[in-house]
């Protein structure tokens, strides 16, 4: 073979190789479109969930106003029912603490717990309060009603104090205002921004979504379960940190929180409609086993929560080992989500947790 022919063959081979690689890369790029994932999450999960949350808080407001006009035990029970519905619904959106929610600090405005009951009492005694001030961050939001509605002889406080009654209305209307602002921003320009921000840089919508997903799961594990059962206090139980301790719905809230996160992982709407989620992305990049493992772990955790028949405080006294086992399962899932899933997506986890695990 002469030299010129050899050079020609090498050139052709190189061209074929480059063309082949280019086609393979193009095929890899179109295997999974993150914009479709974000479109499903934004259009079919986030916006509808905020819309329903706004409906529920508006119902609570109307129910509370009826109670103001007729302060009976029956009407107080109706307020409690409406509060429980909207509190549970909150956990369908609390993992979206970026963009509009982050801009106004929505989680701090409505979701801090446990409440500072001493501060609430001081506010309702004096009537001199600014609910939007930093000093009142733990005297507002959904958790405040756990005290207002469920403290001993709560009806008498409403009957005997106009300030106490007004405080409850002010808290409801502040929550409603914060949710309305957040929803309006999503329905404005942010939804389109969210759908198109598919990069892996820390400021992209996709990166923020993955980070908040993992962060919210860790908050559920730590704040809702780990801290009360003593995981940060050398095994000494801290029941005073139980969420919704007086109403005793803390395990229901934990379930709703974890269930909503599982729905987000699978891109499933509140009505059960299937859509594109993190699971589909993992499958597309040949991580089906990880996707299956995460779903299996979510299911096991939810099943364990459902098997707890007592309140969290009662379970802490009667069945601490069951709670410890549940915590271990929840901790194991942290590794799958925060390490395995995020690295598969090429996402850097930028938040810091302080659970000591």
The reply to whether 125 falls in a domain is yes
* Helix-strand-coil split of the chain, %, nearest 5: 75, 0, 25
Contacts of 119 (CB under 8 A, 6+ apart): 135, 136, 138, 139
- Are 41 and 185 in a shared domain? yes
The reply to whether 176 falls in a domain is yes
| CATH code of the domain covering residue 181 | 1.20.1420.20
Asked if 21 and 47 count as a contact pair (C-beta separation under 8 A), the reply is no
Number of H helices, E strands in the chain: 19, 0
The reply to whether 14 falls in a domain is no
The residue among 159, 191, 223 that closes a domain is 191
pLDDT of amino acid 356: 38
pLDDT of amino acid 352: 80
The residue among 149, 175, 191 that closes a domain is 191
C-alpha atoms less than 13 angstroms from C-alpha of 322 in its C-beta half-sphere: 17
pLDDT of amino acid 353: 67
Contacts of 184 (CB under 8 A, 6+ apart): none
- Are 151 and 206 in a shared domain? no
Q: Which SS3 state, helix, strand or coil, does residue 60 take?
A: helix
- Are 159 and 283 in a shared domain? no
- Are 244 and 307 in a shared domain? yes
| Burial tier of 262 (Cβ tally within 10 Å: 0-12, 13-18, 19+) | buried
The closest alpha carbon to 112, from 95, 136, 88, 137, belongs to: 137
The reply to whether 301 falls in a domain is yes
**Which residues span the domain enclosing 302?**
197-357
Rounded distance between C-alpha atoms, residue 277 and residue 271, angstroms: 15
Q: How far is CA 350 from CA 11, 153, 206, 208, in A?
A: 46, 46, 13, 9
Q: How far is CA 264 from CA 89, 206, 268, 329, 347, in A?
A: 14, 13, 6, 19, 17
Helix (H) or strand (E) holding 318: helix 312-318
The reply to whether 306 falls in a domain is yes
The reply to whether 87 falls in a domain is yes
The closest alpha carbon to 237, from 320, 357, 326, belongs to: 320
Asked if 108 and 137 count as a contact pair (C-beta separation under 8 A), the reply is yes
Rounded distance between C-alpha atoms, residue 150 and residue 243, angstroms: 13
Rounded distance between C-alpha atoms, residue 154 and residue 174, angstroms: 22
Which segments of 111-249 does DSSP mark as H helices, in order? Answer: 117-126, 141-150, 154-160, 162-185, 191-196, 205-219, 227-229
Asked if 98 and 194 count as a contact pair (C-beta separation under 8 A), the reply is no
- Are 217 and 309 in a shared domain? yes
**The total number of structural domains that make up the chain:** 2
- Are 172 and 224 in a shared domain? no
- Are 270 and 187 in a shared domain? no
Q: Which ranges of the chain have pLDDT less than 70? A: 1-30, 353-357
pLDDT of amino acid 9: 42
pTM of the model: 0.90
- Are 187 and 154 in a shared domain? yes
Q: Which SS3 state, helix, strand or coil, does residue 198 take?
A: coil
Find the radius of gyration of the CA atoms of the chain. Answer: 25
* Phi, then psi, of 26 in degrees rounded to 5: -65, -40
- Are 155 and 219 in a shared domain? no
The reply to whether 265 falls in a domain is yes
Rounded distance between C-alpha atoms, residue 357 and residue 350, angstroms: 17
C-alpha atoms less than 13 angstroms from C-alpha of 301 in its C-beta half-sphere: 28
- Are 258 and 167 in a shared domain? no
E strands in the chain: none
The residue among 175, 191, 207 that closes a domain is 191
- Are 75 and 110 in a shared domain? yes
- Are 59 and 83 in a shared domain? yes
The reply to whether 25 falls in a domain is no
pLDDT of amino acid 171: 98
Contacts of 72 (CB under 8 A, 6+ apart): none
Rounded distance between C-alpha atoms, residue 112 and residue 320, angstroms: 25
């Amino acid at each position: 073979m002469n030299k010129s022919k050899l050079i020609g063959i090498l050139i052709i081979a190189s061209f074929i190789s480059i063309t082949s690689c280019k086609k393979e890369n193009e095929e890899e790029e179109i295997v999974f479109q993150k914009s479709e994932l974000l479109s499903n999450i934004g259009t079919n999960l986030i916006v509808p969930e905020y819309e329903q949350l706004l409906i529920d808080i508006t119902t609570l407001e109307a129910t509370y106003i009826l109670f103001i006009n007729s302060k009976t035990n029956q009407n107080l029970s109706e307020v409690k029912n409406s509060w429980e519905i909207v509190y549970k619904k909150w956990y369908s959106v609390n993992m979206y603490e970026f963009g509009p929610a982050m801009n106004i600090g929505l989680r701090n405005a409505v979701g801090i717990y446990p409440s500072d009951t001493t501060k609430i009492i001081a506010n309702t005694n004096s009537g001199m309060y600014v609910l939007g001030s930093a000093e009142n961050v733990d005297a507002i939001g959904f958790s405040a009603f756990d005290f207002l509605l469920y403290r001993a002889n709560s009806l008498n406080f409403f009957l005997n104090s106009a300030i106490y009654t007004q405080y409850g209305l002010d808290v409801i209307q502040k929550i409603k205002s914060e949710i309305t602002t957040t929803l309006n921003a999503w329905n404005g320009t942010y939804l389109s921004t969210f759908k198109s921000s598919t990069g892996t840089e820390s400021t992209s919508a996709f990166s923020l979504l993955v980070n908040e997903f993992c962060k919210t799961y860790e908050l559920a594990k730590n704040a809702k379960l780990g801290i009360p059962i003593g995981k940060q206090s050398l095994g000494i139980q801290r029941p005073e940190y139980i969420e919704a301790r007086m109403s005793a719905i803390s395990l229901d809230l934990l379930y709703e929180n974890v269930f909503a996160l599982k729905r987000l992982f699978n891109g499933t709407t509140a009505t059960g409609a299937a859509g594109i989620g993190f699971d589909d992305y993992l499958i597309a990049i040949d991580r089906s086993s990880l996707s299956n493992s995460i779903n299996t772990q979510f299911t096991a955790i939810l099943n364990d929560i459902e098997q707890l028949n007592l309140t969290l405080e009662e379970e802490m006294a009667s069945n601490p080992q069951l709670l410890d086992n549940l915590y271990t399962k929840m901790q194991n899932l942290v590794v799958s989500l925060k390490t395995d899933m995020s690295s598969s997506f090429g996402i850097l986890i930028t938040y810091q947790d302080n659970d000591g695990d």
